[in-house]
Amino acid sequence: MEQKIKTVLIVEDEEDLREIYSRALMAGGYEVLQATNGIEALEWLERKSEKIDLILLDIVMPGMDGFEALEKIKKDERYEKIPVLVSTNLDNDDDRRQALGMGAKEYFVKSQHTPSELVAKVKAVIN
């Protein structure tokens, strides 16, 4: 039986980091979609929600930040079951509690994790 390739939506406004994460995830066997903010993430979800297996979500972004996007994702029955990993530069316990309380599976600080560790986190959640 053929195994479905899992798809990760990366929501990250820093282009270099988005590309690093994309390459690492693709090397790990994942298909990757990219968005630069929460608005673009919701547009991807509108078009491809049945295909997206996990969302990697930054917090601080222009347009619509990660908290607002997370709230919209978790309040929409079409998307609420898609796991969300919050990746941020904010090493802040209040933000961590807020994100996890809103339904994020995990909250981690970007500078404390390598791209290969990110891939391992994704794999642990969706494989």
Q: From first to last of its 127 residues, what are the pLDDT tens digits of the chain?
A: 456 899 999 999 999 999 999 999 999 999 999 999 999 999 999 999 889 999 999 999 999 999 999 999 999 999 999 999 999 998 999 999 999 999 999 999 999 999 999 999 999 999 8
R_g of the chain, CA atoms, integer Å: 13
Name residue 7's beta-bridge partners.
31
Full DSSP string of 11-69: E-S-HHHHHHHHHHHHHTT-EEEEESSHHHHHHHHHHHTTT--EEEE-SS-SSS-HHHH
Structure tokens at 16: 């270099």
- Token couple for 123: 């794999």
| Entry pTM | 0.95
Report the pLDDT value the prediction gives residue 4, as an integer from 0 to 100. 85
Instruction: Give the list of residues 6+ apart from residue 117 with CB closer than 8 angstroms, or none.
Output: none
- Smallest CA-to-CA distance from 9 within 25, 32, 39, 27 is with 32
Domains and CATH numbers, the chain: 7-126 (3.40.50.2300)
Facing residues of 14 across strands? none
Q: What is the pLDDT of residue 75?
A: 97
